[in-house]
Each structure stands twice: as C-alpha cells, then as structure tokens.
Amino acid sequence: MAALILPLMGCRNDMHDQPRYKPLAATDFFSDHRSARQPVEGTIARGYARIDEARYTGKINGEDIDQFPFPITKADIERGQNRFNVYCTPCHGRLGDGTGLVVQRGFRQPPSYYEQRIMNAPVGHFFDVMTNGFGAMASYASRVEPDDRWRIAAYIRALQLSENAKISDVPADQQQNLPAETPPRGLNQGPLPQAPAAPAGQPAPNAVPEPGGKQ
C-alpha cells in the first residue's frame, strides 16, 4: 500500500501552487508578453454606466435642462449647502454674491448669483459650469460627484429664492419665529480689516513673512 500511495501524494497540485500570474508578471503565452490584458474596447467600470444624458451632462440634445433629474429633498439641499460651502465659497462667498476671500485678495470676481442673467439661467447651466468650468473658473468634476453638483445647483436656487423672498413667502405659522431685525448680511461684506500700525522699524504684528524668510 505504502509503495502505491507515496508516489501518488507527490503528484498533488495544491491550492497554494495555483496556475495563475502575479499582477503584471510577464508571460510567454501572449505575443506582447503581458499577462495583464487591456479591457475589451468599450468596457465600462462598474458604477460608471452614465447613459442618462441629462443627469451626467445637464443637457438634452445640447440644451441646458431646467429641471432636476431626480427629486430634490431637504436633505439634498443641506448636502448641497455643505458642498457649496466647501468648494464654492472661497470665490463666490457664502451668499453667492461673488465676494469670497480669494476674490478679496485679488482673484477675478465672479458674477453675483443674484444678477438677472444668473437668476434666469436654467439649473443645467450650473451643472455644466461645475462639470466643464466656465471662463476663469476651473472644472470641479474631479472633486464634486455628479449628483452632488445637482445638490449644489439646488442650493444656489435656494440662495436665489432667499434673496428675493417676501415675508408672505414664509408659512404663517413660522412667521413669529423670524428675528425682529435683519441680521448683518453675512461675513463677506466690507473691506478687509487693516493691520494695526507697527512701531517704526518693526514688522506689523500680523505681517505675512515674504518667501525667502525676510519680513
């Protein structure tokens, strides 16, 4: 028996010794010696089948759409506000009036969202601006997912509505919750605070050091 079984055990092909290639290993099987093959032409990665033209371009037959491609809930607007505050406020300001901090330091000033032309613009235009950039503004496609771009567009619409809202637009049972006075118009108004004057010969206390270490 032992003489029969021992030679058979020597022929086992165990799982730890599989006929497979390590990633990017060379092979003689294909003429280009690559074991990693190119995906078949037209392959679409999972989750990237973006066949809904309106949802992924903001257009139908090249025309900006003026409807959201999915229902917008309160949670969507809040997500849009969050993304807007992260990505858009440096230039457009929290209110969307185009007075963000980068602009106060010299970057080209974007138009206010309350200009009539932008008030009238279809939401697909906002989606397109974020997707492809617009003039001096870069594309945000790599940083903001398509559905989040729609949520930001919804938040821009909410900003525009709030700027022109009347007391009668607030539901009657909510009107007594409004503050008696109009609060100051946000953080972005007015000139930058001036640095306090420094005593002669000394740098101002909050002076920004110049590159190269000099003050």
Of the candidates 54, 102, 119, 158, which one interacts with ligand HEC according to CB under 6 A?
102
Q: Is 36 exposed, middle or buried (0-12, 13-18, 19+ CB in 10 A)?
A: exposed
Q: Per rule CB under 6 A, is residue 91 in the interface with ligand HEC?
A: yes
3-class DSSP state of 8: helix
- Residue from 72, 95, 123, 144 that binds ligand HEC (CB under 6 A)? 144
Residue 172: strand, helix, or coil? helix
CA dist., res. 211 & res. 208, Å (int): 9
* Residue 71: CB minimum distance to ligand HEC, A: 20
Region of 11-19, 62-70, 133-141, 182-190 interacting with ligand HEC (CB under 6 A): 133-141
How big is the chain, counted in residues?
215
Only one residue has tokens 């909410």, namely 158
Is residue 88 within the footprint of ligand HEC (CB under 6 A)?
yes
Two structure tokens written together for 178: 């409004």
- Of residues 66 and 169, the one with the C-beta less far from ligand HEC: 66
Output the residue with the shortest Cβ distance to ligand HEC: 135
Nearest to 80 by CA among 163, 146, 161, 169: 146
**Binding site residues, ligand HEC, CB under 6 A:** 87-88, 90-92, 102, 107-108, 110-111, 118, 121, 126, 129-130, 134-137, 140, 144, 152
